[in-house]
């Protein structure tokens, strides 16, 4: 699967986002080592700590289906110019050995990062 298709799937997931409080709707798709794709969207809550980001929703869906190695994560947003993942999402990506993070900005610009450049010193036990 190429990056553009992964971004398109993230965009479809974004359509289901619940961004009632921030006004931001985010979709993410992950590509597993075996070639399967899982998607998720952000779901906000009035108790902000209960909110889940799209990236973690997609990653957790893949893990729930039995996958432990994620090759790529694609992220798209509406209401945010450039949807850089939060620290919690980056740390979860590290847990599952994500190689690449693809960020599609609202202006159509697409940038690809190695996870280590976004999270150079992850927490480790």
SS3 52: strand
Here the tokens at position 122 are 């992850």
Catalytic annotation, pick one of 8, 55, 81, 100: 55
Whole-angstrom distance, CA of residue 43 vs CA of residue 122: 25
Comparing CA positions, the residue from 25, 2, 27, 33 lying closest to residue 13 is 27
Q: Please indicate whether residue 5 is annotated as part of the active site.
A: no
Q: Count of alpha carbons within 13 Å of 124, Cβ hemisphere only?
A: 6
Query: CA quadruple 111, 112, 116, 117: dihedral positive or negative?
Result: negative
Residue found under tokens 């990506």: 93
Give catalytic residue positions. 55
């Amino acid at each position: 699967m190429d990056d553009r298709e992964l971004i398109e799937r993230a965009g479809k997931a974004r359509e289901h986002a619940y961004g009632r409080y921030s006004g931001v709707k985010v979709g993410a798709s992950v590509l597993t080592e075996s070639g399967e794709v899982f998607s998720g969207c952000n779901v906000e809550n009035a108790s902000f700590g209960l909110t889940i980001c799209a990236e973690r929703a997609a990653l957790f869906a893949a893990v729930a289906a039995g996958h432990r190695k994620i090759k790529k994560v694609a992220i798209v947003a509406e209401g945010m110019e450039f949807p850089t993942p939060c620290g919690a999402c980056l740390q979860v990506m590290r847990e599952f050995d994500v190689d690449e993070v693809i960020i599609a900005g609202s202006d159509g610009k697409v940038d690809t990062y190695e996870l280590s450049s976004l999270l150079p010193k992850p927490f480790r036990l």
